[in-house]
Amino acid sequence: MSVRVGVLVFPGSNCEQDVVWAVEHLGAQAELLWHGDGSVSGVDAVVVPGGFAHGDYLRPGAIARFSPVMEAVTEFARGGGPVVGICNGFQVLTEAGLLPGALQKNAGLKFLCAPAVLEVVTTRSVLTGDATVGQRLSVPVNHFEGNYTCDDRTLASLRDDDCIVLRYVDNPNGSVDDIAGICNREGNVVGLMPHPERAVDELLGSADGRVLLGSLLSAAGTSVTA
């Protein structure tokens, strides 16, 4: 049986179909999970996609954490299930307390929409298990609030616990320590600003996102058989 990936849909999400397409392109099944439903329907992995959940009212991600589905996602994550938040999904995961820190406005004061070169920092996360440390990947970014920040203690523990997953080679947004993506201590919850689902075929300009989403599918498959 192929791996089933649940993709959350909030009012204002706008990258969910890209994630569905990318997941299916890589040979897995994808299904949309409405934010108002209090279940993740027994999927093997959850992706929180990009967009503007609840219109980014108050702050990006601030309202999304009250959606019923987030309780199910939190429980799924606590049980070791793979959860990846992309862009606005990363903001949702920090606001929901599943990942530390916050995303502030880009240091360059501009909305950014461009390819970014990332370096894989660790392979112990569900998003990088099939990659190699030091591997460089070209994956697009598309955000205004992607400047990762946290206090010094949190940054030190991210480093000590090997929770920095991806770094920008040429930091586009001012993120502390060039952070493009982080994971929780267990490595099963990952948040990143770049969009791997937009880089899964050479036709899109890069297929470097395949190793990331492929890693997620591998991790989801492992948790299925485990």
Partner 1 sequence: MTFSIHVEVRLRPGIADPQGATIERALPTLGFDGVSGVSVGKSIRFEVEGTDEASVRAQVDDLCDRFLTNPVIEEAVVTIEQLEQATS
Nearer Cβ to partner 1, position 61 or 129? 61
Q: State in angstroms the smallest separation of the CB of 37 from partner 1.
A: 23
Residue type, 145: E
Q: Are 215 and 127 in contact (CB under 8 A)?
A: yes
Please tell me whether residue 109 binds partner 1 under the rule CB under 8 A.
yes
User: Which residue in the set 62, 112, 169, 204 belongs to the binding site for partner 1 (CB under 8 A)?
Assistant: 62
Positions marked active-site: 87, 195, 197
Reading phi first (left if > 0) and then psi (alpha if -120 to 50, else beta), residue 44 is in alpha
Stretch that binds partner 1, among 12-20, 43-51, 105-113, 134-142 (CB under 8 A): 105-113
The correct pick among 34, 59, 113, 157 for binding partner 1 (CB under 8 A) is: 59
Least Å distance, CB 172 to partner 1, is: 13
**DSSP character string of 86-136:** ETHHHHHHHHTTSS-SEEE--TTSS-EEEEEEEEE--S-STTTTTS-TT-E
Choose, by CB under 8 A, the member of 27, 34, 55, 58 that binds partner 1: 58
Q: Which of 8, 47, 150, 193 binds partner 1 (CB under 8 A)?
A: 150
Member of 32, 39, 105, 223 binding partner 1 (CB under 8 A): 105
Assess 152 for contact with partner 1 (CB under 8 A). Answer: no
Identify residues 165-194 at the interface with partner 1 (CB under 8 A). Answer: 174
Q: Which residue, 3 or 193, is less far from partner 1 as judged by CB?
A: 193
Q: Does 55 help bind partner 1 (rule: CB under 8 A)?
A: no
User: How would DSSP label each residue in 140-152?
Assistant: EEEESS-EEE--H
Give 34 or 57: the residue with its C-beta nearer to partner 1: 57
200 contacts 20 by C-beta, under 8 angstroms = no
The DSSP 8-state label assigned to residue 71 in this structure reads H
The size of the chain, in residues, is: 226
Do the beta carbons of residue 88 and residue 13 sit within 8 Å? yes
From residue 148, alpha-carbon distances to 1, 31, 99, 178, 203 in Å are: 38, 29, 12, 8, 30
- Can residue 95 be called a binding residue for partner 1 (CB under 8 A)? yes
Residues at the site binding partner 1, with contacts judged by CB under 8 A: 58-59, 62, 94-95, 101-102, 104-107, 109-110, 147, 149-151, 174
